[in-house]
Amino acid sequence: MRLSLLQILSLILIAIGLASCANRGTPTGGEKDIEAPIITESVPENYSTNFKGKNIRIYFNEYVKINDLRKQLIISPPMDTDPIVTPASGASKYISITIQDTLKDNTTYAFNFGESIVDNNEANPYPYYRYVFSTGDVIDSLSVKGYIEDALLKEPDTFVSVMLYEADSTYSDSIVFKQKPRYITNTLDSVTTFSIDNVKEGTYKIIALKDINSNYTFNQKNDKIGFNEGFITLPKDTSVTHKLTLFNEQVNFKAIKPTQDGETRIIFPYEGSYENMRIKILADTPDDFKTRILKDVNTDTLYYWYKPKFEIDTTFFVVTNGQQIDTFKHRFRTIKGDSLKMTALTKGTLSYDDEFTMEANIPLSKIDTTKIKLIDKDSLTVTYKVEYDSLYNRYKFAIDKQEGQKYKFRMLPGTFTDFYDHTNKDTLSYVVNTKMKSEYGNIRVNLRNAKLPLIVQLVNDKGVVMYERYAKDTPVVDFTNLEARQYSLRAIYDANENKIYDTGNFLLGIQPERVAYSQPIDPVRSSFDFVIDFTLTD
């Protein structure tokens, strides 16, 4: 039987209608769960006293799991042996804590879980849960509150530990290097404020640490530290808001065993400052023995070059910084020597604040400027001045730079002579350009209420200094020929007038020099002049 077109259309409409009716009853899965899990019971109860056990269980109304426990869980006071917390993976309707440490008498303990406890379905967190108990008759109830800032950066680090050390008869400032604190809390990842709760009456030293190793002790090389001068007393200082400024200390000097990495080159690693570092060889050396010392640009390393090469298996080096002396035994090795290699550090665009710069892989001893030709885009000879940086082994060529120019350097063989009387064998050619000044922007900064001198800086979003001026005699500084981009503006109170930022020192009780940021400034644009009023506070 053949169906008419009208019948076929009718059947299609009926099928669509039936499908529509069927779909109306299809389950949607319900509304998304946005509720945090609920604690139904704690065994022993939260805020229990005379706690004697080793096991704690916290029950919930649904399955929960634990996320990022290593960062989130803060136990105060810290335990020498970490407790076992389950579930370590997977989900459960309870959290179990097994204490492995010996608990102190008459002490209030707090387990701060942060936002690590979440439900299994949607990861809704139980916010900032704290389980507290006391091994004595009372729960300590005093608190210490405050906030963290960074000495140099606009925003402080996250996960900063804030600690209290009890100022009893055993206290000394060196305790922060050796022992865990009496009480501790953490700023976690979204706030700069802190609150150390359940503290007993007493006198304390308050310390902040960006604790890289999470061991609650200060590592000068890796950690930032902040501290209050003097001590705090509870309950008197309970209502005080404490400001702790984090800073990196200048690392104490330490000489590290040298190693040979060239035919006549030995590397001397160190920690701290190299400025007073002196190196002396104890072996008998040839009459014409000479040395040169260069610094690595990126690492804490000095390169000790010597000539002539002399036959000896082992010797001793004495390294001193004027306060401590270290003696190192050194065994010489046979290593193939390097040939002189020159490198231009300036490529492409030459900024108005910089100079064309070249460096070498071997210490340089002289330059023959008669073998250098510098011309501009019109093939006219350009005059220049040469400056040698003996520490970093660099030659800088100072030019009276003109906008929109092209500068061509041609350096013939024999232009550069190194420490071993070797010269460059090839002709070296380089081309650099200057932009039009209209491609840059300019900023004038009016320093209001300024106590001079000030170091005024433009920094990028990571706090790296891009441009710097020193304001000593006038509260006005000009930044010219700036790359178009976003900057932050900050000022350093140069209290000792040494023209550099001085950090603090915990053991000496020295705070870092003050740093102030202006309100956010507009991005620098090409061919645009800005005038900024930067108001500073006393």
Predicted confidence (pLDDT) per residue in 28-37, tens digit: 555 666 788 9
DSSP 32: P
Quote the pLDDT of residue 140: 96
3-state class (DSSP) for residue 18: helix
pLDDT greater at residue 190 or residue 460: 460
- Give the CA distances from residue 121 to residues 25, 31, 60, 125, 365, in Å, rounded to whole numbers and listed in that order: 25, 13, 14, 11, 71
* Beta-carbon-side half-sphere exposure of residue 222 (alpha carbons within 13 Å): 10
Mean pLDDT computed over 492-500: 96
pLDDT of residue 25: 45
Structure confidence at residue 160 (pLDDT): 94
Mean per-residue pLDDT of the chain: 92
Residue 22: pLDDT above 50?
Answer: no
For residue 15, what pLDDT is reported?
55
188 or 498: which leads in pLDDT: 498
Tell me whether residue 135 is exposed, middle or buried, using C-beta atoms within 10 angstroms of its C-beta: 0 to 12, 13 to 18, 19 or more. middle
Segment 17-44 shows an average pLDDT of: 68
CB atoms within 10 A of CB 237: 18
Do the beta carbons of residue 216 and residue 193 sit within 8 Å? Answer: no
* Residue position matching structure tokens 């600690």: 163
**pLDDT-derived band at 2, boundaries 50, 70, 90:** low
pLDDT of residue 12: 53
Q: Over the stretch 356-384, which tens digit does the pLDDT of each residue have? A: 999 999 999 999 999 999 999 999 999 99
pLDDT score for 89: 87
Domains with residue ranges and CATH for the chain: 39-134 (2.60.40.1220), 142-246 (2.60.40), 259-331 (2.60.40), 342-435 (2.60.40.1220), 439-535 (2.60.40.1120)
Percent of the chain residues topping a pLDDT of 90: 84
pTM of the model: 0.84
Pairing of strands 278-281, 314-320: antiparallel
**CA distance linking residue 264 with residue 50, whole number of Å:** 70
| pLDDT exceeds 80 at position 26 | no
Contacting residues for 5 by C-beta, under 8 A, at least 6 apart: none
Instruction: Write down the pLDDT at residue 31.
Output: 65
113/71 Cα distance (integer angstroms): 9
Distance CA 413, CA 431 (A): 18
Which run of H or of E encompasses 533?
strand 529-535
Cis peptide bond prior to 235, omega within 30° of 0: yes
Residue 4 has pLDDT above 80, yes or no: no
List pLDDT tens digits, range 59-68: 999 999 999 8
Whole-number Å distance between alpha carbons of 497 and 428 = 42
Could you report the per-residue pLDDT of 421-462, keeping only the tens digit for each?
A: 999 999 999 999 999 999 999 999 999 999 999 999 999 999
Q: What is the pLDDT of residues 300-322, one digit of tens each?
A: 999 999 999 888 899 999 999 99
Q: Is the peptide bond before 127 cis (omega within 30 degrees of 0)?
A: no
